[in-house]
């Protein structure tokens, strides 16, 4: 089969007749017990339970198999493990490749619950974490120890948006036989091809853009040949399984992921450009703009962006921020992002989330998720917000 264009892949991925039974969408197959007609059938299913044979609910059903195929077709790799949320994908991927006495390298700009997992769970297991500067590049070599087993990246970083030099970090990590894991949620499987840049395991909080409608919690981890068996079997032993209903909704989200991301990109760039002209804004931290650390890596490695970016104000206290936030009409305050709605989150002390690299910001940070609303409405909303702020 010829090389499919990405938009065609998004429409066709995961739609093997094995799973769809000639329906356009793979039906929702719910199961715990799966029954067999003969001892031979049961033995065949048992022998192939790790290879998408119907065996037991925890291994998945045709609904899961279709989505796993789709994720591998879109993101690369050889296999996709499924988890009840992105945080579970992160923790299970790491747990699958560490043992007591190991050391891991974690990017300093990681999502806060990822940091908490390292500090509160891994530490109890005798796994030590060193946080590193997201922009460290070749310097990562100096942090690698004989007992280092995992290099974890998140690019761009959750709130401060630094874009990492993934191929350089992965190359150095592989010189020391580390497993390279990337939280690829911001790019989704569309805008950054992790395995083309040296990643071994690509993690998605599918909760965000893949589902795209703020109504499912889901995580995925796609692995290459080197890591797939160990990731799959460790995650199975840790009881990681998901509802076929959620998988169905995630599969539905995949089909519009390309067009939604394009609109989020168009909208976020227009709003970011407007914000750059505001006197209250010190700088905008949007990977598509030079003012974002690692912008050169975004231009080199990414195919596009989305609606999520941050900005740093040049002044402001809690009272002024509250006045800005409380009166918003279109920007809701809420955790998560990647749905169709616009969101706003404020952070007045980013250094409480940093260990290796302290930031000297001129003022508070705002993280915006630019949804699919009309950008003139969104800009008017922000304009009124700044009037309350001042």
Ligand X SMILES: Cc1ncc(COP(=O)(O)O)c(CNNC(=O)CNC(=O)c2ccccc2[N+](=O)[O-])c1O
For residue 14, with 0-12 CB atoms within 10 Å meaning exposed, 13-18 middle and 19 or more buried, which class applies?
buried
CB of 162 to ligand X, least distance (A): 13
Q: Min. distance of Cβ 52 from ligand X in angstroms?
A: 24
Span from 45-53, 82-90, 268-276, 279-287 in contact with ligand X (CB under 6 A): 82-90
Q: How far is the CB of 307 from ligand X (least distance, A)?
A: 13
Asked about 132 being catalytic, the answer comes back as no
Q: Which position has the token pair 């009166």?
A: 327
CB of 219 to ligand X, least distance (A): 6
Q: What is the distance between the alpha carbons of residues 7 and 195, in angstroms, rounded to a whole number?
A: 19
**Residue 312 found at the interface with ligand X (CB under 6 A):** no
Q: Answer yes or no whether residue 63 interacts with ligand X by CB under 6 A.
A: no
Identify residues 153-172 at the interface with ligand X (CB under 6 A): 154, 158
Write down the residue that tokens 């969104």 correspond to: 378
| 208 assigned to active site | yes
Of 205, 211, 241, 257, the residue at the interface with ligand X (CB under 6 A) is: 205
Cβ-closest position to ligand X: 86
Binding mask of the shown chain, residues 219 to 238, with x at each position contacting ligand X by CB under 6 A? x-------------------
Residue 184 interacts with ligand X (CB under 6 A): yes or no: no
Q: Least distance (Å) from ligand X to the CB of residue 18? A: 29
- Structural Rg of the chain based on CA atoms: 21
CB 369 → ligand X: shortest distance, Å? 9
Choice from 5, 24, 38, 335 touching ligand X (CB under 6 A): 335
Is 58 labeled as catalytic in the residue annotation?
yes
* 183 noted as active-site residue: yes
Give backbone dihedrals phi and psi of 187, rounded to 5 degrees, phi first.
-75, -25
Candidate list 83, 111, 132, 248, residue with the active-site label: 111
The yes or no reply on residue 212 touching ligand X (CB under 6 A) is: no
Q: Under rule CB under 6 A, how many of the chain's residues touch ligand X?
A: 17
Tokens describing residue 148 = 């280092």
Fill in the per-residue mask, 105 to 144: x = in contact with ligand X (CB under 6 A), - = not in contact.
------xxx-------------------------------
Nearer to ligand X, 62 or 204 (CB): 204
What amino acid positions are annotated as catalytic residues? 58, 111, 183, 208
The residue ranges that bind ligand X (CB under 6 A) are 85-87, 111-113, 154, 158, 183, 185, 205, 207, 217, 219, 335-337
């Amino acid at each position: 089969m010829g090389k499919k264009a990405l938009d065609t892949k998004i429409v066709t991925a995961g739609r093997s007749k094995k799973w769809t039974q000639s329906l356009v969408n793979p039906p929702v197959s719910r199961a715990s017990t799966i029954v067999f007609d003969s001892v031979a059938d049961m033995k065949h299913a048992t022998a192939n339970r790790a290879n998408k044979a119907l065996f037991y609910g925890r291994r998945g059903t045709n609904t899961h198999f279709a989505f796993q195929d789709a994720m591998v077709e879109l993101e690369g790799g050889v296999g996709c493990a499924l988890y009840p949320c992105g945080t579970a994908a992160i923790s299970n991927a790491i747990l699958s490749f560490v043992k007591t006495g190991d050391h891991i390298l974690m990017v300093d700009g990681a999502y806060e619950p990822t940091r908490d997992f390292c500090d509160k769970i891994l530490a109890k297991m005798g796994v030590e974490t060193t946080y590193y500067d997201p922009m460290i590049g070749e310097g990562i070599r100096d942090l690698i120890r004989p007992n280092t087993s995992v290099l974890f990246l998140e690019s761009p970083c959750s709130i401060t948006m630094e874009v990492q030099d993934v191929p350089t970090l992965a190359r150095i990590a592989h010189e020391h036989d580390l497993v390279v894991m990337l939280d690829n949620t911001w790019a989704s499987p569309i805008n950054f091809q992790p395995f083309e840049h040296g990643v071994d395991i690509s993690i998605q909080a599918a909760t965000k853009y893949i589902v795209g409608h703020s109504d499912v919690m889901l995580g995925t981890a796609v692995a290459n040949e080197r890591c797939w068996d160990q990731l799959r079997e460790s995650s199975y032993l840790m009881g990681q399984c998901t509802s076929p209903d959620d998988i169905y909704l995630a599969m539905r989200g995949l089909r519009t992921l390309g067009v939604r991301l394009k609109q989020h990109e168009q909208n976020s760039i227009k709003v970011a450009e407007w914000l750059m002209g505001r006197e209250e804004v010190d700088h905008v931290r949007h990977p598509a703009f030079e003012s974002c650390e690692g912008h050169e890596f975004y231009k080199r490695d990414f195919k596009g962006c989305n609606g999520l970016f941050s900005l740093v104000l040049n002044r402001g206290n809690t009272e002024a921020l509250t006045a800005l936030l409380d009166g918003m009409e279109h920007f809701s305050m809420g955790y998560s992002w990647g749905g169709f709605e616009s969101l706003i989150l404020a952070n007045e002390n980013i250094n409480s989330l940093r260990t290796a690299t302290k930031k000297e910001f001129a003022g508070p940070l705002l993280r915006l998720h630019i949804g699919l609303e009309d950008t003139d409405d969104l800009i008017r909303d922000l304009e009124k917000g700044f009037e309350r702020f001042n």
